[in-house]
Structure 1
Amino acid sequence: HQFVLHDNQESAKRALYTQTLDYVLLVERSVRGLQAGAPVEYRGIRIGTVEQVPWAFGTEGPNAMTDSPIPVLIRLEPQRVTHQSTIALPSWKSEISQMVENGLRASLKAGNLLTGSLFVDLEFHNNAPATDASPTYRSVPVLPSVGSGGLSKLEDQLHALLKTLNGLPM
């Protein structure tokens, strides 16, 4: 008998999810702390995994990196949610498209403030701007994203506080 050995428990679990949907996030801010293998969550439930950070970024030379968003490849794994061996992927795609039209957006959130690790959070935003019908990046559908408010705001506030402290006469 032959048995497949996996590096860790998470990799063994991921091998169970054979039907997946790939999407690209175009992140405007820093992706520091976001790594391949990080969770993709919807309302606190893990529904996918970050596959590659960055993905196909700057492949057309250094000018492609100037003021361009950073592409992040994520993989949604519907079998994590349904616990079924077969999934109707076309209906999942159309349902996700409908959710995007209704304001579903991705953002980066802090998973651990001590380590600085990030995860992708999918959430509805009532004031989200409308998106193109079906944008793609290198023929992979783009899942619209919004600014990662929490961690970046915290970093900005901490930077301002340190700048103020450094300016005090001591």
Structure 2
Amino acid sequence: MSKPADPKLIGAFVLGAIALITVGVLVIGGKFFQRTTPVVMYFEGSVAGLATGAPVNFRGVRVGQVTNVFIRYQPNGTATLEIPVFAEFSSQNIEIVAPGHDKKEVRHATDEQLRLLVEKGLRAQLTLPSLVTGQASITLDFFPGSPVQFVNNYPHRVEIPTVPSTLQEVQTTLQQLYTKLSKLPLDDLIDDARNLLKGRARSPTTPRCWRRSTAPARPWPTYSRRRTRCRRTSVRWFQTWEQRRRLPTARCRTPSRCSRGSLPVQSG
């Protein structure tokens, strides 16, 4: 006679099967119950910190995640290297209200509707890596008027154009500024400014207090007194110069006594 089955063993087997089914539904089964929209993005420059599982947010709302980041090499033609970024948008957070119906009657976003948003200026931007985790993320927003260049290597995916990140814009601006400054003759400009200051300090028509302005800096009370004295000396200097300029005209009574604005010479 055959040995009867152990009820405890049968119960353990049934419980184990139920547990495996539950874990499978929670871990991988969710993808079969929700619709996802596959997209692809191409970023210029480095994508450091961007890895599988990185969030994709639209103004702070998570709408998807990165599924793959890899290098694509095309040996034909120009032999270019590209870094496609695959992502999937979840249908849970992207819903479109059917026009003319109640707000509860919604339908999930389709590829055509996502392409329409791209035409209206939807762009992807790479954010800075987190200081805690070191992981970067992708932000979606509208940038109307931004240039668009499609690669279109994956027709089954919606391609979302990208815009430079804030860090890339700062680096580009600094690079342009450095290029412009490097073209300027800075050494010649510094020498010209130094020579100009030296010539002004040595000029005989310059008040003495101005010539002293090139001396080393002194404490504030001394500088304040010297500034007041310099202002008074400057006023007297200009008044004296103005009087000397008008003196020939005042002494010329008749045109015969003055020749070309010069003073008459007195004998004896």
Specify the TM-score bucket, using the shorter chain as the normaliser.
0.5 to 0.7
- SS for the counterpart of 1:80 is coil
Of residues 78, 97, 102 in structure 1, which corresponds to 2:115?
97
1:71 correspondence with 2:84:
yes
Paired residues of 2:50 and 2:136 also in contact (CA < 8 A): yes
1:30 correspondence with 2:43:
no
Shift in CA distance, 58/3, structure 1 to aligned 2, threshold 3 Å: same
- Whole-angstrom CA distance in 1 between matches of 2:29 and 2:53: 12
- SS for the counterpart of 2:167 is helix
Choose between structure 1 and 2: higher strand proportion. 1
Q: Deviations over 1:115-167 (max 9, x none)?
A: 432111110012312566xx62232331111112x233567799xxxxxxxxx
The unaligned stretches of length 5 or more in structure 2 are 1-17, 96-105, 175-268
Of residues 40, 51, 59 in structure 1, which corresponds to 2:56?
40
Instruction: Give the count of matched residue pairs.
Output: 144
1:57 correspondence with 2:72:
yes
Choose between structure 1 and 2: higher helix proportion. 2
- Whole-angstrom CA distance in 1 between matches of 2:47 and 2:127: 10
RMSD: 3.5
Shift in CA distance, 138/127, structure 1 to aligned 2, threshold 3 Å: closer
Q: Counterpart of 1:113?
A: 131
The residue identity in structure 2 corresponding to 1:72 is V
Shift in CA distance, 152/116, structure 1 to aligned 2, threshold 3 Å: farther
Give the structure-1-normalised TM-score: 0.67
The residue identity in structure 2 corresponding to 1:30 is S
The unaligned stretches of length 5 or more in structure 1 are 159-170
- Whole-angstrom CA distance in 2 between matches of 1:141 and 1:102: 14
Greater relative contact order, per chain length (Cα 8 Å cut-off, separation 6+): 1
How many Å apart are 1:112 and its aligned residue?
Answer: 1.0
How many Å apart are 1:64 and its aligned residue?
Answer: 3.0
